[in-house]
Amino acid sequence: MKSITSALSGILFGSGLSLAQMTNPAKVLAFLDIFGAWDPSLAFVMGSALAVSALGYRLARARGESALGEPFPVTTSSQIDARLLVGAGFFGLGWGLAGLCPGPALASLVTGSVPVAIFVAAMVAGMILYQGISRSWSESALLHESSPPPPEYADKPPSIRRRPTNVHQKITRPSSLQDQVSGHQLGELQQDACRPWQS
Protein backbone atom coordinates (compact mmCIF):
# COMPACT_ATOMS: atom_id res chain seq x y z
CA MET A 1 0.00 0.00 0.00
CA LYS A 2 2.85 2.39 0.82
CA SER A 3 4.50 1.75 -2.55
CA ILE A 4 1.23 2.36 -4.39
CA THR A 5 0.65 5.59 -2.46
CA SER A 6 4.19 6.78 -3.21
CA ALA A 7 3.77 5.99 -6.92
CA LEU A 8 0.44 7.80 -7.12
CA SER A 9 1.87 10.82 -5.28
CA GLY A 10 4.82 10.95 -7.68
CA ILE A 11 2.53 10.73 -10.71
CA LEU A 12 0.33 13.51 -9.32
CA PHE A 13 3.35 15.72 -8.58
CA GLY A 14 4.95 15.14 -11.99
CA SER A 15 1.66 15.77 -13.77
CA GLY A 16 1.23 19.05 -11.89
CA LEU A 17 4.74 20.17 -12.85
CA SER A 18 4.14 19.34 -16.51
CA LEU A 19 0.69 20.97 -16.57
CA ALA A 20 2.10 24.18 -15.02
CA GLN A 21 4.99 24.13 -17.54
CA MET A 22 7.58 23.96 -14.78
CA THR A 23 9.32 21.34 -16.93
CA ASN A 24 9.72 23.81 -19.79
CA PRO A 25 13.15 25.49 -19.44
CA ALA A 26 12.17 28.33 -21.78
CA LYS A 27 9.16 29.13 -19.60
CA VAL A 28 11.26 29.08 -16.43
CA LEU A 29 14.02 31.25 -17.92
CA ALA A 30 11.40 33.77 -19.09
CA PHE A 31 10.08 33.91 -15.52
CA LEU A 32 13.59 34.53 -14.16
CA ASP A 33 14.35 37.24 -16.75
CA ILE A 34 12.88 40.03 -14.62
CA PHE A 35 14.61 42.88 -16.47
CA GLY A 36 13.90 41.46 -19.95
CA ALA A 37 10.92 39.71 -21.48
CA TRP A 38 9.53 38.75 -18.09
CA ASP A 39 6.77 36.14 -17.94
CA PRO A 40 5.18 36.34 -14.45
CA SER A 41 2.75 33.44 -14.94
CA LEU A 42 4.87 30.99 -12.94
CA ALA A 43 4.55 33.28 -9.91
CA PHE A 44 0.88 32.29 -9.70
CA VAL A 45 1.86 28.61 -9.93
CA MET A 46 4.33 28.98 -7.06
CA GLY A 47 1.92 31.03 -4.99
CA SER A 48 -0.80 28.41 -5.38
CA ALA A 49 1.69 25.65 -4.52
CA LEU A 50 2.76 27.49 -1.35
CA ALA A 51 -0.86 27.95 -0.25
CA VAL A 52 -1.67 24.26 -0.73
CA SER A 53 1.53 23.07 0.96
CA ALA A 54 1.02 25.46 3.89
CA LEU A 55 -2.43 23.99 4.47
CA GLY A 56 -0.98 20.49 4.14
CA TYR A 57 1.71 21.20 6.74
CA ARG A 58 -0.91 22.55 9.14
CA LEU A 59 -2.86 19.31 8.84
CA ALA A 60 0.32 17.24 9.13
CA ARG A 61 1.37 18.94 12.36
CA ALA A 62 -2.14 18.50 13.79
CA ARG A 63 -2.36 14.77 12.92
CA GLY A 64 1.20 13.81 13.81
CA GLU A 65 1.21 10.95 11.27
CA SER A 66 -0.07 10.10 7.80
CA ALA A 67 -3.17 8.05 6.98
CA LEU A 68 -0.84 5.04 6.62
CA GLY A 69 0.63 5.56 10.08
CA GLU A 70 3.94 7.01 8.88
CA PRO A 71 5.48 10.06 10.63
CA PHE A 72 5.63 13.27 8.65
CA PRO A 73 9.20 14.48 7.88
CA VAL A 74 8.60 17.98 9.25
CA THR A 75 11.73 20.07 9.82
CA THR A 76 12.14 21.90 13.13
CA SER A 77 15.03 24.13 12.05
CA SER A 78 14.32 27.77 11.20
CA GLN A 79 17.91 29.04 11.34
CA ILE A 80 19.20 31.16 8.44
CA ASP A 81 22.94 30.52 8.33
CA ALA A 82 25.79 30.64 5.81
CA ARG A 83 25.16 27.07 4.74
CA LEU A 84 21.56 27.87 3.79
CA LEU A 85 22.49 31.09 1.97
CA VAL A 86 25.34 29.51 0.00
CA GLY A 87 23.16 26.52 -0.93
CA ALA A 88 20.34 28.82 -2.05
CA GLY A 89 22.83 30.79 -4.16
CA PHE A 90 24.12 27.65 -5.89
CA PHE A 91 20.55 26.47 -6.45
CA GLY A 92 19.60 29.80 -8.02
CA LEU A 93 22.65 29.76 -10.29
CA GLY A 94 21.85 26.27 -11.53
CA TRP A 95 18.18 27.09 -11.99
CA GLY A 96 18.98 30.26 -13.91
CA LEU A 97 21.57 28.61 -16.17
CA ALA A 98 19.58 25.47 -17.04
CA GLY A 99 15.97 26.53 -16.48
CA LEU A 100 15.43 23.35 -14.47
CA CYS A 101 15.36 22.42 -10.80
CA PRO A 102 15.49 18.88 -9.35
CA GLY A 103 11.77 18.03 -9.40
CA PRO A 104 11.00 19.21 -12.94
CA ALA A 105 14.28 17.70 -14.18
CA LEU A 106 13.30 14.25 -12.91
CA ALA A 107 9.82 14.64 -14.38
CA SER A 108 11.37 15.65 -17.72
CA LEU A 109 13.39 12.43 -17.98
CA VAL A 110 10.38 10.75 -19.59
CA THR A 111 10.85 13.01 -22.63
CA GLY A 112 14.17 11.34 -23.43
CA SER A 113 15.91 14.71 -23.77
CA VAL A 114 19.70 14.36 -23.74
CA PRO A 115 20.33 17.80 -22.12
CA VAL A 116 17.90 16.90 -19.33
CA ALA A 117 19.67 13.55 -18.78
CA ILE A 118 23.04 15.36 -18.60
CA PHE A 119 21.59 17.85 -16.10
CA VAL A 120 20.24 15.05 -13.88
CA ALA A 121 23.56 13.16 -14.03
CA ALA A 122 25.48 16.32 -13.07
CA MET A 123 22.98 17.01 -10.26
CA VAL A 124 23.41 13.51 -8.82
CA ALA A 125 27.22 13.83 -9.10
CA GLY A 126 27.08 17.12 -7.19
CA MET A 127 24.96 15.55 -4.45
CA ILE A 128 27.38 12.62 -4.10
CA LEU A 129 30.35 15.01 -4.01
CA TYR A 130 28.71 17.10 -1.29
CA GLN A 131 27.92 14.00 0.78
CA GLY A 132 31.55 12.90 0.56
CA ILE A 133 32.89 16.32 1.57
CA SER A 134 30.35 16.63 4.39
CA ARG A 135 31.25 13.17 5.73
CA SER A 136 34.95 14.00 5.59
CA TRP A 137 34.40 17.24 7.53
CA SER A 138 32.32 15.43 10.15
CA GLU A 139 34.98 12.75 10.63
CA SER A 140 37.71 15.40 10.93
CA ALA A 141 35.68 17.26 13.56
CA LEU A 142 35.10 14.07 15.57
CA LEU A 143 38.79 13.19 15.35
CA HIS A 144 39.69 16.67 16.51
CA GLU A 145 37.34 16.47 19.50
CA SER A 146 38.53 12.99 20.52
CA SER A 147 42.25 13.83 20.59
CA PRO A 148 43.55 14.09 24.19
CA PRO A 149 44.00 17.55 25.72
CA PRO A 150 47.25 18.68 27.34
CA PRO A 151 47.84 17.15 30.79
CA GLU A 152 47.21 20.44 32.59
CA TYR A 153 43.70 20.62 31.04
CA ALA A 154 42.77 16.93 31.24
CA ASP A 155 40.42 17.48 34.20
CA LYS A 156 38.76 20.60 32.73
CA PRO A 157 35.26 20.56 31.17
CA PRO A 158 35.10 20.48 27.32
CA SER A 159 34.12 24.15 27.11
CA ILE A 160 37.40 25.09 28.81
CA ARG A 161 39.72 22.74 26.92
CA ARG A 162 38.48 23.48 23.41
CA ARG A 163 41.46 23.47 21.11
CA PRO A 164 42.72 25.99 18.63
CA THR A 165 43.79 24.75 15.20
CA ASN A 166 47.42 24.26 16.21
CA VAL A 167 46.57 21.74 18.93
CA HIS A 168 49.71 19.67 18.74
CA GLN A 169 52.24 22.46 18.93
CA LYS A 170 54.60 21.84 21.80
CA ILE A 171 56.11 24.60 23.89
CA THR A 172 59.86 24.47 23.51
CA ARG A 173 62.52 26.52 25.20
CA PRO A 174 65.26 27.78 22.88
CA SER A 175 68.74 27.64 24.32
CA SER A 176 68.98 31.43 24.16
CA LEU A 177 65.97 31.76 26.45
CA GLN A 178 67.40 29.20 28.83
CA ASP A 179 70.50 31.33 29.16
CA GLN A 180 68.69 34.67 29.56
CA VAL A 181 65.46 33.94 31.45
CA SER A 182 65.09 32.52 34.92
CA GLY A 183 63.07 29.39 35.64
CA HIS A 184 60.27 31.42 37.23
CA GLN A 185 59.97 33.71 34.20
CA LEU A 186 59.98 30.71 31.88
CA GLY A 187 57.02 29.26 33.79
CA GLU A 188 55.09 32.49 33.25
CA LEU A 189 55.89 32.39 29.53
CA GLN A 190 54.59 28.83 29.29
CA GLN A 191 51.36 29.78 31.08
CA ASP A 192 50.86 32.68 28.65
CA ALA A 193 51.38 30.34 25.71
CA CYS A 194 48.75 27.93 27.04
CA ARG A 195 46.04 30.57 27.46
CA PRO A 196 44.55 30.05 23.94
CA TRP A 197 43.37 26.64 25.20
CA GLN A 198 40.91 28.45 27.43
CA SER A 199 39.33 30.48 24.59
Q: Average the pLDDT over 71-91 and give the result.
A: 83
pLDDT at site 120: 92
pLDDT at site 168: 45
Residue 166 pLDDT greater than 50, yes or no: no
Q: Report the mean per-residue pLDDT for the chain.
A: 76
pLDDT at site 169: 45
Domain ranges of the chain: 2-145, 160-198
pLDDT at site 147: 59
Residues ≥6 apart with Cβ < 8 Å to 74: 57, 60, 61
pLDDT at site 158: 56
pLDDT at site 51: 92
* Nearest partner of 164 among 144, 182, 179, judged by Cα: 144
pLDDT at site 118: 92
pLDDT at site 121: 94
Residue 155 pLDDT greater than 70, yes or no: no
Contact indicator for 20, 109 with CB cutoff of 8 Å: no
DSSP class of residue 70 equals P
Residue 41 pLDDT greater than 90, yes or no: no
Q: What is the pTM of this model?
A: 0.58
Q: Average the pLDDT over 27-47 and give the result.
A: 87
pLDDT at site 173: 46
Q: Given pLDDT bands bounded at 50, 70 and 90, which one contains residue 177?
A: very low
10-41 core/surface letters (b: 16 or more CB in 10 A; e: else):
eeeebebbbebbbbbbebbbbbeeeeeeebee
